[in-house]
A = this chain, B = another copy of it.
Amino acid sequence: MTNVLAQELIKGVAPLNFSGLYSKDFLNTWDKTQEELKAILLIAKILKNFRESNLSSKIFDSGLAISIFRDQSTRTRFSFVSACNLLGLLPVDFDEKKSQIAHGETLRETANMISFMAEVIGVRDDMFIGVGEKYMKDISNAVKDGFDNGIIEQLPILINLQSDVDHPTQCMSDLLHLTEYFGGFENLKGKKIAVTWAYSPSYGKPLSVPQGIIGLMTRFGMDVTLAHPKGYDLLPDVITKAYENVKNFGGSFNRTEKMEEAFDSADIVYPKSWAPFEAMKKRSEFFLKGDMKAVETLEKELLNENAKYKDWTCTEAYMKKTKNGKALYMHCLPADINGVGCKEGEVEASVFERYRKNLYKEASFKPYIIAAMIFLAKIKNPLDVLTKILTKNYKRIKH
């Protein structure tokens, strides 16, 4: 009753049209409207405020939240577990044996067999171009079919925990971080963000983060500059999406092959390594054919190619070129820090260290973003439920 901030935040959500989120998967940010994305950010803030006020947001008394990680994960895994636990769902990891679930028939069956009491399915499949998102859609279609046929009692919604296309829980956390850092959505307008490739001695980092960032930040009137060496292209469809966003929502989208050009007067920099789209596509094809020798050869070529661009690293010198020399440095973590985890990498140690607290803060929003996505997809009248939580004043810790 006395939580004024939460009440104001709830009022802020009320005028938004976010009914389209109900009972729907979250695959890519560009499938959602501006108002829907804003609603997610606001609900994330409300759930954060609730937890800080020791209010319980446990809306589920039982129910499973299944995760399928086809690639290693630490922060997204723990963010998912934290979000589900906050809402009362039991996180259960499905440890897939790749061979068993590989062909379509088994995937459909397995998806149903594990989902009888699942409210949410979180999936990471980020490495293979043209595969990750398809895998998520196959699972989603399988459980929808099961729901429609009365096999699964409730429709589990799928949350993309990083595909080959987008990494929405990361990018939405990044966006929430930016709104908090700059003091609201309105202040993002006209801000220049440099999304740049950076050198890494490790090969084949996913493209989903830079893709997600240019696909999302171009929607809020920001000036997005994408920089990478020749050949390190992102998915063409996402590039198209970025240009469309500029048309629809203002701001600008520019591309360059010079890192310093991107950094010039930037308010925000997001330097991060990734592998070229065409090479990753080839790699996926080799993998599917089982041609491991071709994969190996390709990896060597890519590492050699990478090594030509060791000067693509976020140095203090580059940082000086940014707006007042004080651009906000962002990264999805973990970063390859020069002289720390590797000899040469994405960022100079002094730059990273100066922004360390900001980076951890940026990451700390992810559990709330995931919780908000679940909340809005599973609860038909979210504002009523949030108001009830406030009124009931049920404590998370019984002090």
Residue positions of A touching B, CB distance < 8 A: 48, 51-52, 56-64, 74-75, 78-79, 81-82, 85-88, 90-92, 94, 103, 105-106, 109-110, 112-114, 116-117, 146, 149-153, 333-334, 337, 340-341, 357, 360-361, 363-364, 366-367, 378-381, 385, 388, 394-399
Q: Is B397 in contact with A61, judged by CB distance below 8 angstroms?
A: yes
Distance in Å from the Cβ of A201 to the closest Cβ of chain B?
15
A63 partner residues in chain B, CB cutoff 8 A: 85, 396-397
Main secondary structure of the interface of A (DSSP, over half): mixed
Q: Is B85 in contact with A150, judged by CB distance below 8 angstroms?
A: no
Distance in Å from the Cβ of A158 to the closest Cβ of chain B?
17
Q: Is A380 in contact with B399, judged by CB distance below 8 angstroms?
A: yes
Q: Is B363 in contact with A379, judged by CB distance below 8 angstroms?
A: no
A112 partner residues in chain B, CB cutoff 8 A: 360, 363
A74 partner residues in chain B, CB cutoff 8 A: 110, 113-114
Q: Is A363 in contact with B113, judged by CB distance below 8 angstroms?
A: yes
Q: List 8 A-B contacts (CB under 8 A).
A: A63-B397, A64-B81, A78-B116, A81-B92, A103-B340, A105-B341, A113-B333, A116-B366
A56 partner residues in chain B, CB cutoff 8 A: 61-62
9 other contacts beyond A58-B398, A63-B85, A63-B397, with CB at 8 A cut-off?
A62-B85, A82-B117, A106-B334, A106-B341, A113-B333, A113-B360, A149-B357, A378-B397, A381-B399
The one of B64, B82, B103, B363 in contact with A341, judged by C-beta atoms closer than 8 angstroms, is: B103
Q: Is B60 in contact with A397, judged by CB distance below 8 angstroms?
A: yes
A396 partner residues in chain B, CB cutoff 8 A: 60-63
A150 partner residues in chain B, CB cutoff 8 A: 361
A334 partner residues in chain B, CB cutoff 8 A: 106, 109
Q: Which 9 A-B pairs have the closest CB atoms?
A: A82-B117, A56-B61, A75-B113, A151-B360, A78-B114, A59-B398, A61-B396, A85-B90, A149-B357
